[in-house]
Structure formats: structure tokens, C-alpha cells
Structure 1
Amino acid sequence: MPKRFVLRAGAIVAASALVVIGAASSASAHVTVSSPDAKPGGYAKLVFRVPTESDNTSTTKLVVSLPKDHPFAHVGAQVKDGWKVEKKEEKLPAAVKVGDVTLTKAITTITWTATAAGIPPNDFDEFSLSVGKLPEGVDALSFPADQTYSDGEVVKWADVATDGAEAEHPAPTLKLAAAVTPVAASTDSSDTLARWLGGGGLLVGLLGLAFGLRPRRAAAVPAVPAVSAEKQ
């Protein structure tokens, strides 16, 4: 294989890896929310991951807003060493039925305030809530958050992506997975098989390209056997 092709291919692979790593680093720097057990109609643990995006200041406060259109009947906040936690309850604009309970007021914000050093520069911490019941018939829940730094700067994680573009400060959003039906499971299996087959086809294509770019040897000309003259 020509040396120039090898160098070019290596450069492309390296550049692609840097793009992927850069995208992952950018995404991980956002305040995010996840859950190990969130299901529509059930109780769940919500985990907010908070990175300190600074080289010389710390995160000293986190305020998380809970959805008012889908309020929770129960909200339990994690108690953390070095942090004071406060819950704020408000009257709802309209009564909302959650399971067998009709809510006219609900907890709408949770505030963690550092009583010590907070989250150091370039580090992260996690803050958890126990909530329920989660709404049914909803694809996702948004939890806008305010992050305060030791120098007084406040970053509002409340943007919503529009037209497919990534928001600069996206609001932490939890996607709710619906129950898996046999049809959905079959579709997922088919998609998985298709992805494996597609990956295999790509690998075969790359191998074919590699072999195709190998320098070919000149084809040997078969020797023509000598024909002896028949005796007269």
C-alpha cells in the first residue's frame, strides 16, 4: 500500500477521533439530569450532574426548577455534607391530578447552597432527588437550573434547542421511556441486526478498498509449450 495513502488515512482517523472526543467533552460539561429507574406513572431517583466549568472559581449554589405543568406529589432531596438544601412550595396556577391525588400546590424549586468549599474548579458533583409520581403520556421532562459560581456569576441552564441546533445552555432534560411492546422489541432487534450487518458491510468495503489500493504485480505470461515437429 502506498505510504502516502497510509498517512492520509491515519490523518483522517485521527481527525475523526478528535471531533468525537471534543463533542463528548462539550456535552459532558453541561448540567445534566439522568435516572436509573424513571418510568411513567412511577417513582424515580433523579441525578443532576454539575460540572464546574472554570479554572479558578467554584460552584457554590444550584437551583433546580421542577415542572409546574406536571408537578410531583412527593419530592425528597438528597442531604449532602457541605451543602444546605431548601425546598420551595408554591400554589399551582390550576389544580393538577397526580394519580389519586389532586394537587393545588407543589414543590417547585430545590436549592443546594454550599456551606464549605463547593465544587472545586474543573471538578463535578451530583445532586439527587426522589420524586413521584412521574406523569404518563409525556416523552420528556425539563428541569431548568441556575448554577452560581464563587465570583457571583450565574449560569442559567434553561435554553431549548430549536431547528435541530444545539442550545448553548440547554436545560437538563429527562427522557421518559415508554413500556416496551413485543412489536417495539422486534423492531429494536431488527434495527440491531441491521446495524450489525451495515457495520459488517462497511468493514468488508474498507478491506476491499485496502486490497484494491495495493500495488499489483504484472501478470505473468504463461509459457507456450514448444511443439515438436512430427517426423516425416
Structure 2
Amino acid sequence: MNSSLSSSLRRAATVGGATGTAVLLAAVPAFAHVSVNPGSAAKGSYSTVSFKVPNEDDSASTIKIEVNLPTDHPIASVSTQPVAGWTVKVTRSKLTTPLQTDDGTVNEAVTKITWTGGEIKPGEFQQFPVSLGPLPEDADSLVFKTLQTYDNKEVVRWIEEEQEGQAEPEHPAPTLELTAASADGDHHTSASASASPVAEHSTVEVAASSSDAGDTTARILGIVGIVVGALGVGFGVLAGRRRDTGAGTGNPSA
């Protein structure tokens, strides 16, 4: 193989490898924050959401999560789903202005949910499902300011509210966007959901499956990128061999 062909193959290998690596890196999710999933729900509905908490420390574990519910738009009904290894404490506070609901007057509401006793190790995440409702009809979003405590005593405060037209803050608070209620008057986030907690919790599995599907798709795209890069190198080598063969069988006197 002459030096020119060898250089060409080296360049092809470099480009192919770089392409595969770039695609693989693109498939890796961005540095995660505490979030609420799904990210939106219908106004006036009963919805089940999960607070997804990733561990962002390479040397410490998360041991406590505190989620503060909005007091300017209190929610009448709040219930939690057991999470293995974690103990939950629900804090209720008396409302300055009682809520008027279909079931009567509500004088107090849940203002904070605290999970302790468990552990989220480095490189892991945990989801904490909560049933909420009815969601307010006079708001466009609900902000859940959250504190994440590590076993090295560090506390990360996810309390910064995002402002329209500005860059995402360093520690954004989990936010649930509220959308217009459906025209058929269905106040549940899923066609299979009902007012019972069991039915509402079924939506958690749907949300988790969708998230897993997205992660799987990202990994597949990364692998495809690597394969495409490798095929590019292979085609370059094959083309080089064919040129060498053609040159060897030509007329020497030409």
C-alpha cells in the first residue's frame, strides 16, 4: 500500500471514529435536574406525577428529599405512593383562605412532603409518585420547590423559577405546566384513570415506560452512529484495495 493510500485510510478512520463518538455523545442525556414527570397536566384534573431525583454527586448519596407544594394555589387532595426503603412524612397547614370544592370546604392542605430513610447512590435516580387534585383552574403552572440533602451534609436547593426569555437557572424548581381541560370534561390525565388512588397510580407506569423508551432510543441512536462510522472506514479500505488491484493489472508500458 502506497503512502498516499495509507494516509487516506488513516484520515477515513479518524473521521469515522469521530462521527461515531459524536453521535454516541449526543445520545447521552444532559446533566439531569430534579424534575416532575409528566411535565404537564390538565387544569381541574386529578393527576399522578413522579418527582424524579437524580444523584448528581460522584462521592455522596442522597438521603432526604423535601418537596414544597405551592401555597398560593393549594391542592385539596394529595396522596403518596409507597417507595421501597423510604419513609414519607406529609405536612399539612391551615389555609388562610379555605378551599371550596365539590366535596365541601377544605380548611387545610398539604404544604410539604418529605422522604427519608432511603438512599440514592451516585449514578442512580429515584422516582417519588404523588397523586394531586383537583389541580387549580386559575393558574398556568405549579412550582414545587425542592431540597435535596446528601449524606455529606450538602443541601442542593432546587428553588429557582424559570423566567420566560431567560436562560435556565442553575437550580430550577420542578414545574408542572397546566393545560386547558379537555372538551369532553374529563378531569383525569388518563382515559383509564378514575378518582380512586389505585387507578390514578396507573399513570405512573405509563410515564416511567415512556421515559425508559426515550433512554432506549437514545442508546440505539448512539450504537447506530458508531456502526455507520465503522462502515465508512470499511468502505474506504475496500476502495483502496480495489485501486491497488487495478494498478497492478494495468499495462506496464502505458
**TM superposition outliers: structure 1 runs of 4+ over 4 Å:** 9-22
Q: Give the structure 2 partner of residue 178 of structure 1.
A: 180
Q: For 1:60 and 1:168, locate their aligned partners in 2 and report how far apart those are by CA, in whole Å.
A: 21
Tell me which amino acid in the other structure corresponds to 1:158: I
1:37 and 1:45 in contact (8 A); partners too: no
Q: Does 1:70 align with 2:73?
A: yes
Q: Give the structure 2 partner of residue 217 of structure 1.
A: none
Task: Specify the structure having the higher radius of gyration (Cα).
Answer: 1
Task: Report deviation, 1:105.
Answer: 1.8
The correspondence of residues 80-91 of structure 1 with structure 2, limited to 5 A, is: 80-91=83-94
Q: Tell me, what secondary structure is at the counterpart of 1:85? A: strand
2:39 and 2:176 in contact (8 A); partners too: no
Task: Report deviation, 1:88.
Answer: 0.5
Q: Give the structure 1 partner of residue 130 of structure 2.
A: 129
Q: For 1:90 and 1:43, locate their aligned partners in 2 and report how far apart those are by CA, in whole Å.
A: 21
What are the superposed Cα offsets for residues 63-87 of structure 1, whole Å, 9 maximum, x if unpaired? 0011111111111012122111000
Alignment RMSD (CA, Å): 3.0
Q: Give the structure 2 partner of residue 150 of structure 1.
A: 151
Q: Tell me, what secondary structure is at the counterpart of 1:176? A: strand
2:40 and 2:178 in contact (8 A); partners too: no
What are the superposed Cα offsets for residues 48-104 of structure 1, whole Å, 9 maximum, x if unpaired? 000001112111000001111111111101212211100001122333334554333
Q: Tell me, what secondary structure is at the counterpart of 1:46? A: strand
Q: Give the structure 2 partner of residue 164 of structure 1.
A: 166
* Runs of 5+ unmatched residues, structure 2: 1-7, 184-254
Q: Tell me, what secondary structure is at the counterpart of 1:56? A: coil
1:96 and 1:102 in contact (8 A); partners too: yes
Higher RCO by CA contacts (8 Å cutoff, separation 6 or greater): 2
Question: For the structure 1 residues 19 and 168, does the alpha-carbon distance in structure 2 shift closer, same or farther, using more than 3 Å as the test?
Answer: farther
Give 1:105's match in structure 2, choosing from 105, 108, 111: 108
Q: For 2:26 and 2:96, locate their aligned partners in 1 and report how far apart those are by CA, in whole Å.
A: 44
* Runs of 5+ unmatched residues, structure 1: 182-232
Q: For 2:174 and 2:45, locate their aligned partners in 1 and report how far apart those are by CA, in whole Å.
A: 20
Q: For 2:24 and 2:161, locate their aligned partners in 1 and report how far apart those are by CA, in whole Å.
A: 27
Percent identical residues: 41
Query: Where is the helix percentage greater, Structure 1 or Structure 2?
Result: 2
Tell me which amino acid in the other structure corresponds to 2:88: V
Give the TM-score normalised by the residue count of structure 1. 0.64
Task: Report deviation, 1:147.
Answer: 0.4
Aligned length: 173
Give the TM-score normalised by the residue count of structure 2. 0.59
Tell me which amino acid in the other structure corresponds to 1:111: T
